[in-house]
Chains A and B, each alone.
Chain A
Amino acid sequence: MASTASRLRVTEKDDITRIEFVDRNILDEANIQRIGEEISEIVDAQSHPKLLINFSNVDHLSSAALGTLITINNKIRSKDGQMRLVNIDPQIYEVFVITKLNKLFQIHDTIEDGVASFT
């Protein structure tokens, strides 16, 4: 039976919301939907959200997860906010390149680079 616990670890620092994933595999549609809802709640609670999403724990990611990231990015942009993705495994980065989402999202190698890129 699916857990009802949060699938995210969320911390706030210097006006930036830092998000990490609990799960190493972000594949299951139901799980991805919950992750999307949790992040949407965070975005809804802020006037100009700044989100740093850290993929350091993630080994696998499906196209459904990409779809959720697009939805969140659209929502953040509609609120004049900013989203950064960091610490993406090279194989997963290839997924972003194939789908050309590396051009839509701002992706950085490290947390430090991601934090420094916010304006």
Chain B
Amino acid sequence: MLDNCNSNEVSEKRCYRCASREDVELAQNTIIETITECGYDQPACFAIRLALEEAVNNAVKHGNRGYADKTVALSCQIGKSQVVIDVEDEGAGFDPASVPDPTRTENVEIPAGRGIMLMRAFMTDVEFLEVGNHVRMTYKRSG
């Protein structure tokens, strides 16, 4: 349990270096358990788990091109009013503006390209940093 769950301060940043799917699941489960302990409700946990999964999948699949010899750095700061998650891969990055809109008629039957849209829909703020190999996602608790 984080000491400052009930304060307005953001927790110390916790970092996880993921070299396998098992590492990713352990980190994700720890983050979800912690935000639940901090009083975030079920819809918040659903949103954060989905966004985390999409960000890590993109980092592994498109950034690192798999797990071999590369890791995904995942870090999380949890406070009373917001959760900030950083996911960084070792890839060359990309331009998020170049990702086609998956809801356009010509794209709707293409079986890929929806991860960023879901991250943006379920988190309060999503920004791509550096060359695009680092995404910072913020969930702000309403009320």
Residues of A close to B21: CB separation below 8 A: 28, 30
A74-102 contacts to B, CB under 8 A, are 74, 91, 95, 98-101
Question: Considering only CB atoms and an 8 Å cut-off, how many residues of chain B contact the other chain?
Answer: 23
> What is the chain A residue whose CB lies nearest that of B115?
A63
Verify B108–A101 contact, CB threshold 8 A: yes
Residues of A close to B43: CB separation below 8 A: 91
Query: Which secondary structure characterizes the binding site on chain B?
Result: helix
Verify A62–B57 contact, CB threshold 8 A: yes
Verify B114–A67 contact, CB threshold 8 A: yes
A94-119 contacts to B, CB under 8 A, are 95, 98-101, 103-104
> What is the chain A residue whose CB lies nearest that of B103?
A100
The complex places the Cα of A16 from the Cα of B46 at a distance, in Å, of 32
> What is the chain B residue whose CB lies nearest that of A100?
B103
A34-72 contacts to B, CB under 8 A, are 60, 62-64, 66-68, 70-71
> What is the chain B residue whose CB lies nearest that of A64?
B57
> What is the chain B residue whose CB lies nearest that of A28?
B21
The complex places the Cα of A98 from the Cα of B50 at a distance, in Å, of 13
Q: Does A29 contact B (CB under 8 A)?
A: yes
The complex places the Cα of A103 from the Cα of B121 at a distance, in Å, of 18
B-binding residues in A (CB < 8 A) = 27-30, 60, 62-64, 66-68, 70-71, 73-74, 91, 95, 98-101, 103-104
Residues of A close to B121: CB separation below 8 A: 98
Verify B46–A67 contact, CB threshold 8 A: no
Residues of B close to A64: CB separation below 8 A: 57
Q: Does B2 contact A (CB under 8 A)?
A: no
Residues of A close to B49: CB separation below 8 A: 60
Distance (whole angstroms) from the CB of B28 to the closest CB of chain A: 9
Verify B108–A63 contact, CB threshold 8 A: no
Residues of B close to A67: CB separation below 8 A: 111-112, 114
Verify B103–A99 contact, CB threshold 8 A: yes
Verify A100–B57 contact, CB threshold 8 A: no
Verify B117–A99 contact, CB threshold 8 A: yes
Residues of A close to B46: CB separation below 8 A: 60, 91
11 inter-chain pairs at a CB distance below 8 angstroms, sorted by A residue, are: A27-B53, A29-B60, A63-B57, A67-B111, A68-B111, A70-B111, A95-B50, A98-B121, A99-B103, A99-B117, A99-B118
